Amino acid sequence: MKIKKLHLPEKKVELNLKFYYFLKNIVKLRPNEKNILTLLELLYLFKDNIRNESNKLEELFKSTVKKDIIKNILLEINDGNDVELLIFSFKLYQVKDLLFQEAKIKATLDTDRLLNLHPLSLAYDNISSLKPYKFRITGALLSLIFFDRLEKGDLNFMSDDSYDYMKKLSELAVKLSKTGVEPNQVFMLMFNESINQGFISDSGVNYETRVHSILTKIGIKDIKKIHDKNDKSTEFDFYFDLNGKKYGVGAKRTLRERYKQFIKTAITSDHIHIMIEITLGIDLSEEKAKTISNHGTYLFVSDEVYRSRKYLREMKKVFSVLDLDIKTLNLMS
């Protein structure tokens, strides 16, 4: 069975490349609303010879870098159709912020859900760690819905004040689509890059910080981060004194091979009375749990994992994070 040769007209590629180039450079330009309104007015007034009026556009910006961006954009203008495409690009730049804010609102709703969850639970971790990826997906789907409605002229989702603006944008989108422009696909390239720069790197509060919040909540004070005196390769994420005992705590979402280092330290250390590993437990096999607990280290795992694995509940030195309190810590010896 042969797959028919895919055909992509070079003209279509070049057209959408220019569209992307405009969007990309407008993002670099970062014009404010006043800049955009003036730029659009100048583009309308000098549609047929805008390249000859570059100085008028450059005057809107103070920095040399931004003036150069304007020059680079205008170098790609060959006719009125290109000017129309540039106008469309500036208007989509305005829309980008609307979609971005909508996606951020949905991300905030997820953050609000965390208020009712234990910070060291799997449910909390899933929402927190997946937040940036959900933001990306939400942005992509919002963009898809927006452009679908835009091309269909279905603008009932807009306020009365925005309707006329969006109606003209809809008409322009339909017109450009007929020439081969792919508004949604090219816009998403730029939109995803904006998400990467503005939000995707934020993967939520890290696990260590969440553990710290629990320790302070139960009344642990003077928490430090130290390296073991005898084994400098081991770092305790949390070190504290409680009723004459010195506690060394490791806190990582997953154990991987780190638990082996703690076992080694448990054998060689003579100044830590109690060693604890706090983890989600998703990669905690029965063999690992036995190895860790048999070498004098206590384990706290997410309640979901603790309840789902009988062998963990049967081990004396393994606890649910729900039991991480002063009473449990004092019972350790």
In order, the DSSP letters of 253-279 are S--TTHHHHHHHHHHH-SS-SEEEEEE
Based on the fold, state whether residues 215 and 279 are members of the same structural domain.
yes
CA distances from 305 to 150, 250, 284, 286 (A): 47, 18, 9, 12
Based on the fold, state whether residues 49 and 174 are members of the same structural domain.
yes
Based on the fold, state whether residues 84 and 134 are members of the same structural domain.
yes
Residue 280: CATH number of its domain: 3.40.91.80
Based on the fold, state whether residues 142 and 239 are members of the same structural domain.
no
Q: Could you tell me how many residues make up the chain? A: 333
CA distance 289 to 156: 58
Based on the fold, state whether residues 272 and 162 are members of the same structural domain.
no
Sheet holding 274-279, edge to edge: 224-227, 235-242, 245-251, 274-279, 297-301, 318-320
pLDDT at 179: 87
Per the structure, the count of domains in the chain is 2
Structure tokens at 229: 């005196």
pLDDT at 261: 65
Based on the fold, state whether residues 239 and 161 are members of the same structural domain.
no
Mean pLDDT per block of 10 residues along the chain (333 residues) reads 69 90 92 90 88 87 91 90 91 82 77 88 88 79 79 64 69 85 82 64 73 94 76 76 90 77 60 88 90 88 95 94 95 84
The answer to the question of residue 3 being in a domain is no
3-state DSSP assignment of residue 240: strand
Interacting residues of 255 by C-beta distance below 8 A, sequence separation 6+: 277, 279, 283, 284, 288
Based on the fold, state whether residues 154 and 215 are members of the same structural domain.
no
The answer to the question of residue 267 being in a domain is yes
Nearest to 238 by CA among 264, 258, 212: 212
The answer to the question of residue 272 being in a domain is yes
The answer to the question of residue 280 being in a domain is yes
Based on the fold, state whether residues 158 and 192 are members of the same structural domain.
yes
Domain boundary among 200, 234, 263: 200
Q: Which residues of 218-235 are buried (b: 16+ CB within 10 A; e: fewer)?
A: eebeebeeeebeebeebe
Q: Is the dihedral of CA 279, 283, 285, 290 positive or negative?
A: negative
Query: Which one-letter amino acid corresponds to residue 124?
Result: Y
Based on the fold, state whether residues 245 and 167 are members of the same structural domain.
no
CA distance 140 to 151: 17
In order, the DSSP letters of 98-138 are HHHHHHHHHHHHHHHHGGGS-TTSHHHHHHHHHHHHHHHHH
Based on the fold, state whether residues 156 and 172 are members of the same structural domain.
yes
The answer to the question of residue 139 being in a domain is yes
Domain boundary among 169, 200, 231: 200
Domain boundary among 149, 165, 200: 200
Q: Is the dihedral of CA 264, 303, 113, 200 positive or negative?
A: positive
Instruction: Kindly state the DSSP code that residue 285 receives in the 8-state scheme.
Output: -
Based on the fold, state whether residues 178 and 229 are members of the same structural domain.
no
Based on the fold, state whether residues 176 and 277 are members of the same structural domain.
no
CA distances from 100 to 3, 37, 60, 198 (A): 39, 20, 25, 10
The answer to the question of residue 168 being in a domain is yes
pLDDT at 266: 60
Domain with 223, as residue range(s), is: 207-331
The answer to the question of residue 4 being in a domain is no
Partners of residue 249 on adjacent β-strands = 238, 276
The answer to the question of residue 66 being in a domain is yes
